Structure 1
Amino acid sequence: MADAMPKVIVIGGGPGGSTAAGLLAKGGVEVKLLERAEFPRYHIGESITTSCRAIIDYVGALEKVNACGFTTKTGVLMRWGQEKDWVIDWTAQFGADTRSWQVDREIFDQVLLDNAADSGAEVVQQAHVKRVLFDGDRAVGVEWQPAGGELRTETADYVIDASGRAGLISAQHYNNRRPHEIFRNVAIWGYWENAELLPDSPAGGINVISSPDGWYWLIPLRDNRFSVGFVTHKTNFVERRREFDSQEAMLAAVLGESETMKQVLAQATQLPGVRIEQDFSYAADKFCGDGYFLVGDSACFLDPLLSTGVHLAMYSGMLSAASILSLQRGEVNEPEAQAFFESLYRNAYHRLFTLVISFYQQHAGKDRYFALADTLSRAAQGDTQSADLAFGEIIAGLTDLREAADRAGTAAAPITETIDAAATGGAKPVQELLGAAEQARLRAEESSPNQRVTMAPMYIDANDLYDAASGLYLVTEPRLGISRVTSEAAVAAG
């Protein structure tokens, strides 16, 4: 075990950076979080997956978020392609307490940033990080400038880049982001009062409506406000934008082209202001390296169709903290920690990317989407759960939490067992997202009576450079980190 805890600089105070900073500080690490803006600040990405609720509980901010009075989200209604409406209701599928929120991000992000500070992280706002410093290929610190101050150089043992699309390491230092041409989209949106969700929508659920040129969203926020927007390819957006004198006129026109959107906004009043933002999807060649981890949008960005941005940010923030804590405790070496982070984060991204890309083939139909989700969920062989349950699990973000603890990829706890554990008695910490039977089986496999195994191990494929018998996996109790299955349990798992 190392003699002293490391120093970590976290760039960016969004959900990913705040999650990483808070968890590291709780683990005894010296953490400085540098955020360019002054919170609260506006941000899009208002529809939150239920997986985030488990992570928020684990970082200690669940009561604080609940106190904000956000709209409770229980699923999604999709009016997609030529099919009738189809509903994913998490409470019907997984239990009455499987839910999340539709949030005002300026408030939501403030709560998480304050929680990181309360956990012991030093938070500096209006701190402009100019660049990440490298010694060869190793990140060793940053150059940054406080508001009204002089440029400073600060060293660190690890840098977590949660700088979003600015991507100080991936976009600016290495320039190794790969765009996805099919997802070079643009979003235009605004806010309304007194809109209406489509009939049969899950309580507080988002509505997603397809069109020949893209798709619309309708998100019910608190105080009877609704976020309403349209996403289309950049080429179509540029052509259409020439038709209008203002972005307000353009948004009104594209909403008027949808009978569904005219229906839900018939009695609504538009609030001032229309916003436009590029939704270009991309992924960096590497999500981590010597001395650094890329969290959230700094590593990858995905079309917002399934509302997964905050999930990917918080999930990767948790993984980065686990990796650094276990490195410092000597539980893994640096190549192992990097392979662990890269594998889990990239697998989560690619699963969602594969599912989203299928939706842009609107003629495929929901049966095909559900069948694809069933394949992507990697549920246990012989599992009798329906494909729509697999789809619901993925868009809830729960598949990633399950697979972070998955012993052999195809030998996970049954989905219903996993979700039941999360749904009874309120939101559960990450380690409790396994069914009781799976946890009991793991305890029986422990090689030492003093070792507490709280999650099933994650399988590392041979292609990830390590022997499958090493069995690296995520643990959250009694402390956050990476562990490896014992040789006896690895043999038992085959």
Structure 2
Amino acid sequence: MPASSSTPETLTDIDVAIIGAGPSGCIAASLLHQQGKRVIVIEKLHFPRFSIGESLLPCCMQWLEEANMLDAVNQAGFQFKNGAAFRYKEQYTDFDFSDKFTPGPGATFQVERADFDKLLADTAAEQGVDIRYGETVTTVDLIGKPRLTVTDANGEAYLIEAEYLLDASGFGRVLPKLLELEKPSTLANRSAIFTHIQDNIGKKEVDDRPFDRNKILISVHPQNRDIWYWLIPLSPDRCSLGVVGEPHLMGNSDLDLEVILMDMVNQEPGLKTLLADAEILRECAELKGYSANVSTLATDKFALLGNAGEFLDPVFSSGVTIAMQSASMATKCVVRQLNGEKIDWQSEYAKPLMRGVDTFRTYVEAWYDGRFQDVIFYDAPDNKIKQMVCSILAGYAWDEANPLVAESEKRLNLIVELCR
């Protein structure tokens, strides 16, 4: 008998269904497509759409190259980035990503994510990937083959039956919510307030030092080192601006976000000078309680990529790097499983991925308790140690040849003792 007209259509010729068309989803889709796998990407929003996470790390460049997307990114005209600068009171230090311990790219870009994410998605689509925008995953069934219920842009439901699922939904965290995988983060509850500005910095200087537009600037609050600011150049006259701290440290929560943000900016003398003539270009936004964790990263039916699995903190711009790294690692396992191999997802994906995530976690926690800030701002650094630190700041958190990766907590504490 023919199916009832009320029976949802079922797509059954899919190897891998990917939830989310951000960087991890598009890179995963591209890598799988290159291997001849049938992929479909379900994206809730329409691109371009605003997102934070605008300061890429050099490590990202190798994953873009692996996905055959690097040429498109290089030609897009994004703001060049060659390092990171840190300022606390009158102390200033910077890191040149070309002078690092780990081999690999030493420069990258700072990007408006609306444009960057659309570029990656368009490039994946040009390669032949099927991306469906304005569609929402509403249920997941893991009995038998993984099955998703999807509501399309017209409000009509259909089903996808795939051999495997990848969740690249970022802060949407689709599978963790539907499968009740979420668990509290070990990190403190912090908030970020942010916007884009016409910075009008021109030739302004702080401490006789011009603003370096080729680096992200991380500034620390002069009275409370738990509060920090990002200033990310996106073009010759535009920046992303944000402040991060625990909510009770961010002033009167009843005030308008723009008022709170600019009041916090004016509490840091260097930023106050640089941004004296700045104009806000977009409505300020707030991200609360962003740190997240899960009980399970992967099984033989699904894997979580990037922020869908765990998000630490924006302080070292690790989010997109972890997203791309997870996409590369997971797709290699998926291809092998689809080709008939038995994959131990815990030992072959979750643990290797978490080694780098836990390295970032060491330095995020040490940033907020002051240990890593003491290392960053130490006025007579050993060049070899600075190169090792620079590798981590450049995203090479999986390079276990680096002692600050292989034994991150132990080695960090030894350096902290020397600095103090």
> Per-residue displacement from partner, 1:122-171 (whole Å, max 9, x unpaired)?
11111111122211xx6612110111142112111100011112222223
Cα 1:201–1:86 shift into 2, 3 Å:
farther
Cα 1:207–1:161 shift into 2, 3 Å:
same
Say which of 27, 30, 37 aligns to 1:22: 30
SS in 2 for 1:263: helix
Deviation of 1:120 after TM superposition, in Å, equals 2.4
Task: Name the structure 1 match of 2:252.
Answer: 240
Query: Is 1:168 aligned to residue 174 of structure 2?
Result: yes
* Structure 2 Cα separation of the partners of residues 410 and 179 of structure 1: 23
- Aligned 1:79-94 pairs, distance under 5 A: 79-80=87-88, 84-93=91-100
* Structure 1 Cα separation of the partners of residues 383 and 351 of structure 2: 26
Letter of the 1:241 counterpart: S
Query: Is 1:320 aligned to residue 333 of structure 2?
Result: no
Say which of 151, 161, 165 aligns to 1:159: 165
Cα 1:97–1:297 shift into 2, 3 Å:
closer
* Structure 1 Cα separation of the partners of residues 320 and 372 of structure 2: 27
> Per-residue displacement from partner, 1:285-313 (whole Å, max 9, x unpaired)?
21101210100111001110000110011
Deviation of 1:234 after TM superposition, in Å, equals 2.5
Moved more, 44-53 or 109-118: 109-118
Task: Name the structure 1 match of 2:393.
Answer: 395
Deviation of 1:249 after TM superposition, in Å, equals 1.6
* Structure 2 Cα separation of the partners of residues 197 and 116 of structure 1: 42
Query: Is 1:290 aligned to residue 300 of structure 2?
Result: yes
> Per-residue displacement from partner, 1:170-206 (whole Å, max 9, x unpaired)?
2331233222342x11111122222368637655100
Task: Name the structure 2 match of 1:115.
Answer: 123
Alignment gaps of 5+ in structure 2: 1-12, 408-420
Cα 1:203–1:32 shift into 2, 3 Å:
same
Task: Name the structure 1 match of 2:108.
Answer: 100
Greater RCO, 1 or 2 (C-alpha within 8 Å, sep 6+)? 2
Cα 1:228–1:28 shift into 2, 3 Å:
same
* Structure 2 Cα separation of the partners of residues 385 and 328 of structure 1: 46
Task: Name the structure 1 match of 2:243.
Answer: 230
Cα 1:90–1:69 shift into 2, 3 Å:
same
> Per-residue displacement from partner, 1:312-350 (whole Å, max 9, x unpaired)?
1111011111111122234x4122x44211012111111
Percent identity between matched residues is: 26
Aligned residues: 382
* Structure 2 Cα separation of the partners of residues 279 and 51 of structure 1: 27
- Aligned 1:198-277 pairs, distance under 5 A: 199=209, 204-211=214-221, 212=224, 213-237=226-250, 240-242=252-254, 244=255, 246-277=256-287
Moved more, 14-23 or 356-365: 356-365
* Structure 2 Cα separation of the partners of residues 410 and 353 of structure 1: 13
* Structure 2 Cα separation of the partners of residues 208 and 285 of structure 1: 32
Query: Is 1:185 aligned to residue 190 of structure 2?
Result: yes
Letter of the 2:108 counterpart: S
Cα 1:225–1:364 shift into 2, 3 Å:
closer
Letter of the 1:341 counterpart: Y
* Structure 2 Cα separation of the partners of residues 318 and 121 of structure 1: 16
* Structure 2 Cα separation of the partners of residues 96 and 28 of structure 1: 28
* Structure 2 Cα separation of the partners of residues 218 and 200 of structure 1: 14
* Structure 2 Cα separation of the partners of residues 197 and 12 of structure 1: 42
Contact kept? 1:33, 1:122, Cα under 8 Å:
yes
* Structure 2 Cα separation of the partners of residues 119 and 197 of structure 1: 46
Query: Is 1:144 aligned to residue 153 of structure 2?
Result: no
> Per-residue displacement from partner, 1:54-87 (whole Å, max 9, x unpaired)?
111111111111122111001111114x672111
Alignment gaps of 5+ in structure 1: 371-383, 412-494
Task: Name the structure 1 match of 2:71.
Answer: 63
Query: Is 1:308 aligned to residue 311 of structure 2?
Result: no
RMSD: 2.7
Task: Name the structure 2 match of 1:73.
Answer: 81
Contact kept? 1:284, 1:300, Cα under 8 Å:
yes
SS in 2 for 1:143: strand
SS in 2 for 1:159: strand
Contact kept? 1:127, 1:147, Cα under 8 Å:
yes
Cα 1:397–1:197 shift into 2, 3 Å:
farther
> Per-residue displacement from partner, 1:256-313 (whole Å, max 9, x unpaired)?
1111110111243332421111252122121101210100111001110000110011
Cα 1:272–1:399 shift into 2, 3 Å:
closer
Deviation of 1:364 after TM superposition, in Å, equals 5.9
Query: Is 1:42 aligned to residue 54 of structure 2?
Result: no
Q: Under a length normalisation based on structure 2, what TM-score does the superposition of the two structures give?
A: 0.84
Moved more, 192-201 or 260-269: 192-201
Contact kept? 1:189, 1:230, Cα under 8 Å:
yes
Query: Is 1:31 aligned to residue 36 of structure 2?
Result: no
Deviation of 1:102 after TM superposition, in Å, equals 0.6
SS in 2 for 1:85: strand
